[in-house]
Amino acid sequence: MIKIQNLNKSYDKRKVINNVCLNVKKGDIYGLIGRNGAGKTTLMKLILGLTQADDGTITINNGEELSLARKKIGSIIEEPGLYYGKTAFENMKLFSLLYEGVKDEEIKSLLNRVGLGETGKKKVKGFSLGMKQRLGIAIAMMGKPDILILDEPINGLDPMGIKEIRDMILEMNAAGITFMISSHLLDELGKIVTRYGIMSNGELVEEITAEELNKRCTKHVEISVDNKAAAIAILKKQFENVDINETELKDTFYIMSEVEDTSLVNSLLVNNGVKVYSIYRQGSSLEDYFIERLGA
Amino acid sequence: MNKLLKFELHNLFRQIIVYIILVIMLGFLLLNNYPSRYLLEYGYDMENMMVEILTNGYFTYFLAAIIPFIVCRDYEQNVIKNIYAKGYTKEKVYTAKFIFSIIVTAGLFLIAIAVGTIEAVGVFGWNKTHVFDILTAQLFAMLAYAAFYNLFSQIFKKSGISIAFLLFVPPLGGLLLDTLDYSLNLPISFGDFWITQTMAYLHSGTIDTKEIVLSIITSVVYIVGCYFIGKAVIKKQYK
């Protein structure tokens, strides 16, 4: 969907994007993470054509002409650009003039979709931050884009606002829209992202799927049962090389080796008459992994 | 380009402030011109009144308020990135704003002249008029102002600083160039090529064709020059 090869960008003599290669696939929710000044926003601006690369290539939609391909990308960079003296509908109506054939019905439907259908004559200046973000997303959604690029879309939002945006992103992704999102709120990002790009000092340090990251972050599986000894014996019998840490707790032990599917472990124990009180993966968070990866 | 122009058109004319400025501008022009009726005994007539509605300088002051408003608003409200992000290049957006500034100026000019003509006819009665050549030159001069104002508004991108600059720098620049001309005493006068000079000879109904042509040529040079300088500046700003 978006393929970037050997992209470079400098401001004056400072290199802000350094030989970045990146691949966003169709259907991805691609999370771009990195410290402030890592180059996330600049990379997004380069994709959108808001600034020019020194060299390297950006390919969107399998090599479609960039100015056309960019028309199919919706975006919010840094903060949504809105006319504060206008209502949500007036903002949408005005921006709709930049598109081909956006009808009032589509505008109303988009406003309903982002939960702003009932704002009526209320001016944007009276909106909460979450409402402004949602209006920004509605504007970005105009013209039925294939890709949405959102720079820090949940920054400054309260938990309710974060949930609203998160649910909206998941719903839109399920409807076929590919996302590229940057955020500092890594745990929030971890709830929706399917692939990560980790940036540091203008470089893409790593690209990793959420699945792979999950595996890497998982340190052990914690299990609580009614009969710890029996459970350990069953597991050792079933899995030859299983690494078990018994702990000092009466009913709890850890499986330290990799476990593909915890539900199999659960059913194995239950089928052998062991009551399982809890079973879950424990490990480092995305934040821990990120800090570890960037050596902070 | 059509979509961008349509966007600018809706953006501007849905602002109540624009209509307020328009009404104040016309009020100023009419009131300022009205005392001319007492000059009847000095041979003043309808033509003089038509021609001089724009020469008192107020029209350019209003342009200095409206054009930064057209150009800077999207930058100030951070909306410009929405437009760029939709695949419109900076040059296209710049050109659209330039063309729109020119169109709005031409429109305001025509409104001012129409109102001035009605006032002149009301005061002096209808005479057959021969001032269309001067009015054409005035139109070009106003378009030169629009291009000049557009250029500096695009450079500053903030309406406050743009308005302050556009109100003070053109007369100040003229003053400085005149001083320079007096000091150097060269065969060529730099002051004659300054923007304020495009209107300097266009206030009387009796100027000759050569002066009209010279004014139109200078105005065209300003329009074209400002457009290309602005384009180069925009390209450099967004490199």
Contacts of B14 in chain A (CB under 8 A): 90, 94
CA distance A35 to chain B (A): 23
Tell me whether residues B238 and A51 touch, CB distance under 8 A: yes
**H helices then E strands: how many in chain A?**
11, 13
**Residue B87 and residue A70: Cβ atoms within 8 Å?**
yes
Residues of A in contact with B96 (CB under 8 A): none
Residue in A closest to B13 by C-alpha: A94
Lowest mean pLDDT among A113-117, A199-203, B207-211: B207-211
Give the separation between CA A209 and CA A216, rounded to whole angstroms: 11
Best probe of the A interface among B13, B74, B82, B88, by most A CBs < 10 A, is B82
Q: Indicate the range of A156-160, B20-24, B155-159 predicted with least confidence.
A: A156-160
Q: Which residue has the tokens 């600034």?
A: A51
For chain B, what is the mean pLDDT?
Answer: 82
- Residue recorded with tokens 């990560």: A196
**Chain B residues touching chain A at CB-CB below 8 Å:** 3-4, 6-7, 10-11, 14, 77-89, 238-239
Could you read off the pLDDT of B61-82 as tens digits, one per residue?
888 888 998 888 888 888 888 8
> Cβ of A52 and B78 within 8 Å?
no
Question: B1 vs chain A: nearest CA distance in angstroms?
Answer: 10
Residue A94 has its nearest CB partner, among B11, B87, B89, at B11
Query: For residue A265, is pLDDT > 70?
Result: yes
Contacts of residue B23, defined as CB under 8 A and 6 or more positions apart, other chains included, come to none
Helix residue ranges per DSSP H, A155-261? 159-174, 186-190, 210-217, 228-238
| Most A-contacting residue of B75, B86, B236 (CB-CB within 10 A), to test interface | B86
Signed CA dihedral, A52, A54, A55, A56: sign only: negative
pLDDT classification of A87: cutoffs 50, 70, 90: very high
Percent of chain A topping pLDDT 90: 12
State the smallest CA–CA distance between residue A275 and chain B in angstroms: 57
Question: For position B37, what pLDDT does the model report?
Answer: 64
CB nearest B87 (choices: A67, A78, A84) = A67
pLDDT attached to residue B43: 65
Task: Identify the pLDDT of residue A178.
Answer: 93
CB-CB: which of B11, B80, B86 is closest to A71?
B86
Phi-psi region of A156 (alpha: psi -120 to 50; beta: other; left: phi over 0): left
Whether A49 sits inside 8 A of B238 (CB atoms) is no
pLDDT attached to residue B42: 63
Q: In angstroms, rounded to a whole number, what is the distance separating the alpha carbons of residues A181 and A30?
A: 6
| Contact list, A9 vs chain B (CB under 8 Å) | none
Are B84 and A49 inside 8 Å of each other by CB?
yes
Give me the residue label for tokens 């609203």: A164
Residue among A51, A68, A95 whose CB faces B82 most closely: A95
Tell me the pLDDT tens digit for each residue of B164-198: 998 888 888 888 888 888 888 878 887 777 887 77
Residues of chain A in contact with residue B83, where contact means CB-CB under 8 angstroms, are: 98
Are A81 and B77 in contact (CB < 8 Å)? yes
- CA angle, residues A244, A248, A251, in degrees to nearest 5: 75
Q: Look at residue A276 and give its three-state secondary structure.
A: strand
Indicate the average pLDDT of chain A: 85
Alpha-carbon span B66 to B19, nearest angstrom:
11
Q: A291 with A187: CB under 8 angstroms?
A: no
- Tell me whether 0.90 is exceeded by the ipTM: no
| 3-state SS assignment for residue A180 | strand
Mutate to test the interface with B, among A83, A137, A180 (most CBs of B within 10 A): A83
Residue A281 neighbours by CB under 8 Å, 6+ apart: A218, A220, A221, A222, A259, A262
Closest partner CB to A50 (pick from B11, B14, B81)? B81
Q: Is the pLDDT of residue A36 over 90?
A: no
CB contact under 8 A, A98 and B4: yes
pLDDT at A153 (0 to 100): 83
Question: Using the beta-carbon criterion (under 8 Å), do B89 and A77 form an inter-chain contact?
Answer: no
- How many CB atoms neighbour CB B16 within 10 A? 8
Contact list, B77 vs chain A (CB under 8 Å): 81-84
Q: Which pairing describes strands A147-151 and A252-255: parallel, antiparallel, or unpaired? A: unpaired
CB pairs A-B closer than 8 Å: 60
Q: Do B87 and A71 touch (CB under 8 A)?
A: yes
Whether B238 sits inside 8 A of A97 (CB atoms) is no
- Phi first, then psi, for residue B117 (nearest 5°) are -65, -45
Are the Cβ atoms of B7 and A68 closer than 8 angstroms? Answer: no
In the block, residue with structure tokens 């059913």: A267
Beta bridge partners of A32: A182, A197
Of B77, B83, B238, the CB nearest to A98: B83
Average pLDDT over residues B192-221: 78
Say yes or no to pLDDT of A113 above 90. Answer: no
Residue B36 has pLDDT above 80, yes or no: no
Whether B238 and A52 lie within 8 Å, measured CB to CB: yes
Task: Give the distance from residue B229's alpha carbon to the nearest chain A alpha carbon, in angstroms.
Answer: 20
